[in-house]
Amino acid sequence: MAFWSHRLSLKKVYYNWKSGKSEKYILCFPRLETGQPPACFHSCVGRIRYLGVLLYDGDRIQEIASCDESELVTKQRELIQNPFAPEVIAQAEKDGVNTSVIEAAQKSPV
């Protein structure tokens, strides 16, 4: 965290209307609400630029974790499901994933 914390307004206090408390750093929540990436995404040295919801095939985690190291990145990407695919939506709903989570995955930048 040390390499990017100086770019974030971690000491800025805001009022959380849901909890009724004053809180610190919100990961640019107002920007996220309007579909914009947090400001730190543009300047992140570590290129950590994704924040959001992904739907993935949890049944394949053991298989993917056991694959050859040279295939790991490709195999991990195969876990990510298309949140617009009818069969993915049906399975997510069957697994108890809330509709708002599915919609959030559909709005994710990945």
Q: Could you say which of 16, 34, 51 is where a domain stops?
A: 51
d(CA 62, CA 42): 34
What are the tens digits of pLDDT across the range 12-37? 666 777 788 777 666 677 777 787 77
Q: Could you say which of 51, 73, 88 is where a domain stops?
A: 51
Confidence of residue 88 (pLDDT cuts 50, 70, 90): very high
pTM of the model: 0.56
Q: Give the residue numbers spanning the domain of 10.
A: 1-51
- 89 and 100 assigned to the same domain: yes
Quote the mean pLDDT of the chain. 79
2-17 mean pLDDT? 53
92-110 mean pLDDT? 90
- 108 and 74 assigned to the same domain: yes
- 11 and 59 assigned to the same domain: no
Overall number of domains in the chain: 2
Cα–Cα separations (whole angstroms), residue 25 to 2, 14, 66, 91, 107: 15, 8, 38, 35, 23
At 17 the pLDDT is 77
d(CA 93, CA 105): 13
- 44 and 71 assigned to the same domain: no
Strands annotated E in the chain: 14-16, 21-23
- 18 and 69 assigned to the same domain: no
d(CA 83, CA 80): 9
* pLDDT of 102 higher than 90: yes
In degrees, to the nearest 5, what angle opens at C-alpha 91 toward C-alphas 63 and 66? Answer: 5
